[in-house]
A and B are shown apart, each in its own frame.
Chain A
Amino acid sequence: MNAADLAPSYDLAVIGGGPAGLAAASLAARAGLSTVLFDENPGVGGQIYRGITSTPVTDRAILGEDYWAGAALSADAQASGALIVGGATVWSLDPQRIVGVSIDGKARMIEAERVIIATGAQERPFPVPGWTLPGVMTAGGAQTALKAQGLLPAGRTVIAGTGPLLWLLAAQILRAGGKIEAIIDTTPRGNWLRALLHLPDFVLSPYLAKGLKLLREVRAKAPVVRADRIAAVGTDRLSEVVFGLGDGERRIAADLLLLHQGVVPNVNLAIAAGATHEWNERQLCFQPVLDQDFGSSVPGIAVAGDGAGIAGGTAAAERGRIAAIAAVRALKPEATVPDPQTVRQRLQREEMGRAFLDWLNRPADRFRQPEGDTVVCRCEEVTAKQVRDMAAMGCEGPNQMKAFLRCGMGPCQGRLCGLTVTELIAKQRDTTPAEVGYYRLRPPVKPITLAELASLPISETERKAVER
């Protein structure tokens, strides 16, 4: 697929080929909408079903049946008539629903009557001392390597943090024959109090049985220790992990430290498109303000999947369907679509138990609000102390902070520091993240080369100006 082969416009553009995007594109295309789905990876699946059509991990037990559920979703979308374009990086979306996309070094702008942003989640920043050392990476990164290339972590591996994905990754590594020196559980014990209020829903949800089974499986094969602080130590690269609980301190020699403390919506594209966002205190992240069909504050642009607030892969697919049904009803009211009430009920069932998980796995303050020389912005090497000092001096928000310290101005576009900077300013100024707000994000939401930009087809008006 070349950029030049894209049509100038589509009824629906879906951005992201994870569960939400696949389900949305499939439903819309089957209802007769001209539908294009862009995904920046060569194959669809998103992070949860990463490499679903190409993974070399053929033993189904390793990645688990929940992973393989993605195969059906992918096959269904491929057969739906939607145009599915891999290796397509969407770098701009504006309120008029003009999508800037690059494929194989060439850029195009296409128009869409409706857009469903299904860019999913990203891992929450985990800014502990030493997290920028070679040898420290995110659990999500390790899981991607396992799914896409069948790669197991090499050397003495320590996993640290909190959240369901941490345990899932540990189980997958162990099943594939990998070894884990230790799992450092940073879940604050106090979280149980708040979480227990939501236990009844959790007990009824599909999460409970799965979760307990996973914990048992991992604990049987790897040592699990608790900690309320953690640091990666080493000169040129990681050599040991130092952690402790209360007064105690321990050290483990390690070659690889995998960090994870949950996932948060990947908000960059939705914010750049102008969608209003709000702070979610339970999940400690920003998420778009959405109506019941997942429509954002920008007409014609919806956000489905974990990008709408974290709820997991199965819920993401249902959310994608609801957003797609709304698109079909708006553009082609005569088309047959599934009964949205049924989809909503399924979604509700999937979302049950989420509150328990969220409260239980809420990362401790000190793991979100670092101090001292701990790096906050990796691109521009800005430390926690610099951000705190600047906030104490009167800097009220992340956008002014950008101008003073350049944090958030590097190639990652604030993905790795945005939440940390907001929380640090709120903490230092004794206010709330909701008040402080987030970075004003601008396109390109993904870097684009000058050559790619120069390859955009020349507009009509520009051609006329040259001819005259």
Chain B
Amino acid sequence: MARSADVVVIGGGLHGCSTALHLALRGLRPILVEKDYAGRHASGVNAGGVRQLARHLAEIPLSIASMALWEKIEDLVGDDCGFVSHGTVLVAENEEELAGFRVRVEDLRLKGFTHEELIDRAELKRLVPAVADHCPGGVVSRRDGAADPFRTTQAFRKRAVEKGAEVLEGVTVTGLARAGSLWRVETSAGPIEAPKVVNAAGAWADRIAAALGEPVPLEVIAPMLMVTSRLPAFIEPVVILRGRKLSFKQLDNGTVVIGGGHLAVPYRDENRTVIDWTKLATSARTVWELFPAMRAATIVRAWAGIEARMPDDIPVVGPSATSEGVFHQFGFSAHGFQLGPGTGAVMAELVATGATNTPIDGLGIGRFKR
């Protein structure tokens, strides 16, 4: 005897939990199936950047929708998720980079987006006093910030359950097939039948898509992060670079999280990653140059979370192209954390009503059809 639900959400990352919450808020009964535990992978261990800055045009609407939710996150999930808003600063390392940034900011402005703001050397120094003197300026998105990723994912999970969602952890999806007008999701804890299914399976989402006859060129990646021991407070905004890979932020407890997208070697079937120290050394050299004050800092841990990257570096969000009632929400390509709250809301709207007012053109799975 199969259990029944209104929607089966596959994957307990931030996106799956957010969608489950928003479905429950719409009065639907979702069951979320997670093979490990909520936030076990990238959602729980990412850098925690809540960033609108430097996003691909196609995902800016989702990012803006998310930002509105982040700013009242406690109302939504009953926990502040450690969210603090000190902005994100994209630092230009030379005049040529700054010129490129100027073009981008102008272009966004013409399209009606005003969250990115070009800053000169003086404003950069005011926002990030510790940055090396050779940097001529940058871009700031002042409403951006950072949050605690595991706490955020857990808060969404918890609130989803409080609002009527069921969350099955340690349960693996083993199959997916039509059963009359319903979808039958086979799991290690027995079958579940539901009219709608959301594929939020992250680095494992391609397997669901392939089972539906719409294979996607998903790459399994594991962006690396490292963290220092506690240092006196010296920087408030999150700092990112364009030319070289770096993201850099100091937490309230004084530790500094250094990331930026250098990749570990992922083993998704073993839930394991192997750190590549030669690449982290590159990050260390970048920090060495940009933040001289950091040279004596001690690195106490390094880690990587497994997730999915699409070839065009933007996610797959929208209905399946082959299977009525199935929706995709994966492939956030190392920048999905900020998008979690808003994309869950949009996805729930899409599932419940069949449409959404938030533009998600350009994110459909059809773009990979040959």
Write the residues of chain A forming the contact surface with B, with a CB cutoff of 8 angstroms.
92, 94-96, 98, 100, 107, 109, 274, 396, 400, 403-404, 406, 409-411, 413, 442-444, 447-451, 453-456, 458-459, 462
Contact A456 B299 (CB under 8 A): no
Q: Using Cβ atoms and an 8 Å threshold, which residues of chain A touch B277?
A: 92, 98, 100, 109, 443, 453, 456
Contact digits for B281-299, partner A, Cβ 8 Å, 1 yes 0 no: 1101101100000111111
Report Cα–Cα, A449/B295, bound state, in Å: 8
- A274→B273 CA distance, assembly (Å): 10
Question: Is B268 located at the chain interface by the 8 A CB criterion?
Answer: no
| Interface membership of B114, Cβ < 8 A | no
Question: B294-340: which have CB < 8 Å to A?
Answer: 294-303
Given A443-B275, A462-B278, also A450-B37 (CB < 8 A): no
* A94 touches which of B154, B275, B300 (Cβ 8 Å): B275
> Whose C-beta in chain B lies nearest to the C-beta of A95?
B274
Check: B101 CB closer than 8 A to any chain A CB.
Answer: no
B274 to chain A, nearest CB (A): 5
In the complex, what residues of B have CB within 8 A of residue A96's CB?
274
| Nearest CB in chain B: distance from A221 CB, A | 43
Q: B121 within 8 Å of A by Cβ?
A: no
Within the complex, which residue of B39, B272, B296 is in contact with A450, where a contact is CB–CB below 8 Å?
B296
Question: How far apart are A58's CB and chain B's nearest CB, in angstroms?
Answer: 37
- With contact pairs A400-B37, A453-B280 given, residues A448 and B299 touching in the complex (Cβ less than 8 Å): yes
B342 within 8 A of A: no
A352 to B287 CA separation, bound complex (whole angstroms)? 54
Contacts of A409 in B (CB 8 A): 300-301
Contacts of A107 in B (CB 8 A): 281
Which of B272, B284, B300 is within 8 Å of A454, CB to CB? Answer: B284
Q: Given A403-B44, A456-B284, 6 more contacts at CB 8 Å?
A: A109-B277, A442-B301, A451-B288, A453-B284, A454-B295, A458-B282
* Complex: A423 Cα to B285 Cα, angstroms: 41
Q: Is B151 an interface residue, CB under 8 A from the partner?
A: yes
Residue of B nearest to A96 (CB): B274
Residues of A within 8 A of B187 (CB): none
Contact of B288 among A92, A109, A443, A450 (CB under 8 A): A450
Give the chain A neighbours of B294 by CB distance below 8 A: 450
Question: B residues touching A (Cβ–Cβ < 8 Å)?
Answer: 37, 39, 44, 150-151, 154, 228-229, 253, 272, 274-275, 277-278, 280-282, 284-285, 287-288, 294-303
Q: Is the CB of A403 within 8 A of B151?
A: yes
Are A413 and B37 within 8 A (Cβ)?
A: no
- Report the separation of the CA atoms of residues A459 and B294 in the bound assembly, to the nearest whole angstrom: 23
Some 6 contacts from A to B, beta carbons below 8 A apart, are A94-B274, A404-B151, A443-B302, A453-B277, A453-B299, A454-B281
**Cα distance, A109 to B279, chains bound together (Å):** 12
CB distance from A142 to the nearest CB of B (A): 27
**Shortest 9 CB-CB contacts between residues of A and residues of B:** A456-B281, A453-B284, A403-B150, A454-B284, A459-B278, A447-B298, A454-B288, A454-B285, A450-B297
Interface centre among B275, B281, B295 (most CB of A within 10 A): B281
Contacting residues, chain B, for A450 (C-beta < 8 A): 228, 284, 287-288, 294-299
- A98 contacts across to B, CB distance below 8 A: 277
Q: A413 — which chain B residues lie within 8 A by C-beta?
A: 300-301
The answer to whether A456 touches B278, judged by C-beta atoms less than 8 angstroms apart, is: yes
Q: How far is the CA of A462 from the CA of B285 in the complex (A)?
A: 12
Give the Cβ gap from A448 to chain B, nearest Cβ, in Å: 5
Chain A residues within 8 Å of B229, by CB: 410-411, 447
Q: Is B299 touching A449 in the complex (CB atoms < 8 A)?
A: yes
> Which residue from A403, A444, A451 sits with its C-beta under 8 Å from B301?
A444
B37 contacts which of A94, A274, A396 (Cβ < 8 Å)?
A396
Whole-angstrom CA separation of A107 from B284 in the bound complex? 12
Measured between alpha carbons, how far is A165 from B313 in the docked complex, in Å? 58
Residues of chain B contacted by A451 (CB below 8 angstroms): 284, 288, 295-296
Measured CB to CB, the nearest residue on chain A to B277 is: A100
Chain B residues with CB under 8 A of A444: 299-302
Residues on the A chain within 8 Å of B296, using CB: 449-451
Specify which chain B residues have a CB less than 8 angstroms from the CB of A396 in the assembled complex. Answer: 37
In the assembled complex, the Cα of A443 lies from the Cα of B227 at a distance in Å of: 11
CB distance from A86 to the nearest CB of B (A): 21
A109 touches B278 (CB 8 A): yes
Query: A442 near B303 (CB under 8 angstroms)?
Result: yes
| Nearest CB of B to A24, in Å | 25
A94-B275, A451-B295, A453-B277 in contact; A462/B302 too (CB < 8 A)? Answer: no
Find the A residue at minimum CB distance from B298: A447
Say yes or no: B297 contacts A449, CB within 8 Å. Answer: yes
Residue of A nearest to B169 (CB): A396
In whole angstroms, how far apart are the Cα atoms of A139 and B295 in the complex? 36
- C-alpha spacing A448/B272, complex, angstroms: 22
- CA gap between A94 and B278 in the complex, in Å: 13
A409 to B39, CA, bound (A): 18
Residues in chain B near residue A92, CB distance under 8 A: 275, 277
- A393–chain B nearest beta-carbon distance, Å: 11
Q: How far is the CA of A406 from the CA of B230 in the complex (A)?
A: 13
Distance in angstroms between the alpha carbons of A443 and B304 in the assembled complex: 11
Q: How far is the CA of A442 from the CA of B277 in the complex (A)?
A: 12
List, in ascending order, chain A residues with CB within 8 A of B299's CB. Answer: 444, 447-450, 453
Residue of B nearest to A98 (CB): B277
**Roughly how many angstroms separate A242 CA and B39 CA in the complex, as a whole number?**
44
Tell me, rounded to whole Å, the shortest Cβ–Cβ distance linking A57 to chain B.
33
Complex-state Cα separation, A462 to B303, whole angstroms: 21
Q: List chain B residues, Cβ under 8 A from A443.
A: 275, 277, 302
**List of A residues within 8 angstroms of B44 by Cβ:** 403
| Minimum CB distance partner of A397 in chain B | B37
Complex Cα distance A448/B277, Å?
12
A344 to B151, CA, bound (A): 51
What CA separation (Å) do A459 and B281 show in the bound complex? 10
Query: Within 8 Å CB of A455, what residues of B?
Result: 281
Interchain nearest-CB distance for B312 vs A (Å): 22
CB distance B275 to A442 under 8 Å?
Answer: yes
Tell me, in angstroms, the Cα distance from A413 to B227 when the chains sit together.
Answer: 12
How many whole Å from A467's CB to the nearest CB in chain B? Answer: 15
A203 to B299, CA, bound (A): 49
Specify which chain A residues have a CB less than 8 angstroms from the CB of B301 in the assembled complex.
Answer: 409, 413, 442, 444
Q: How far is the CA of A76 from the CA of B144 in the complex (A)?
A: 62
Minimal beta-carbon separation of B215 from chain A (angstroms)? 30
Task: State A394–B228 Cα separation when bound (angstroms).
Answer: 30
B334 to chain A, nearest CB (A): 19
A274 contacts which chain B residues (CB < 8 A)?
Answer: 272, 274
Q: Which of B154, B272, B277, B280 has the most CB of A within 10 A?
A: B277
- The answer for the CA separation of A451 and B297 in the assembled complex, in Å, is 8
Report the minimal beta-carbon distance from A122 to chain B, rounded to whole angstroms: 18
In the bound complex, what is the Cα–Cα distance between A200 and B35 (angstroms)?
49
- Min Cβ gap A42→B in Å is 21
> What are the residues of chain A within 8 A of B150 when measuring CB–CB?
403-404
